[in-house]
Amino acid sequence: MKWLWGAVGLGITSYEGRRRISFLLGHRSVYSRERKPKPKEKRKMDLSKLPTSSEIGEIYKHGTRLFKALLKSVSLTNLRCRLRFGLGDPAATGMAMGTYHAFEGAVSPWMERWEVSVEPIFHEEVLEGEMGLGIRLRLVRLVIPFIQLMRRRSIRRMMRSS
């Protein structure tokens, strides 16, 4: 990972169960630390902490409400996509482009904020592209389902035990 236009970075490498973390200045490592994995302790599972079937039903009911609220709170604001593709065979590439344009014509009323460009390459097999997308998330819509979920004693008990 690089920040400040590549001047500062963080490198994480993992090999043979070991992990090395390096802080980079330019392309040079300024500080490096290697960690060996800690042996994991085997713990016995306490079955008394598992939720009952009624608690699982309650978790499912309120969890699905929260998930539905999450889906309703997310909206796609814009989409930009540039794609270059070729199938190697000009006839197959032409057929694929025809299918794409038929699909584009069918969904164009809903694609007003989308910029999609597809460039066919007839003489070689290639797939290259860039994509950018804007998402709007309204967190206010998640507050009430989250509060309803957290008001349940079984949920709070399960979160404390884990």
pLDDT by residue (tens digit) across 125-158?
998 999 888 888 888 888 888 888 888 777 777 7
In this structure, is residue 65 part of a structural domain? yes
Query: Domain check: are 31 and 75 in the same one?
Result: no
Tally of domains in the chain = 2
Task: Clarify whether residues 58 and 114 are in a common domain.
Answer: yes
Same-domain pairing of 65 and 11: no
What is the per-residue pLDDT across 96-115, written as a single tens digit (0 to 9) for each? 999 998 988 888 887 777 88
Mean predicted lDDT score pLDDT of the chain? 81
Query: Would you say residue 55 lies in a domain?
Result: yes
Maximum Cα interatomic distance, the chain, rounded to a whole number of Å: 65
- How far is residue 118's CA from residue 80's CA, in Å, rounded to a whole number? 11
Check whether residue 31 and residue 64 sit in a common domain. Answer: no
Q: Check residue 106 and report its DSSP letter.
A: H
- Cα dihedral sign for 24, 29, 33, 34? positive
What is the pTM assigned to this prediction?
A: 0.44
Specify the residue for token string 């590549």: 6
Same domain, 135 and 84: yes
Burial of 145 (0-12, 13-18, 19+ CB in 10 A): buried
Domain range for residue 31? 2-35
Same domain, 54 and 22: no
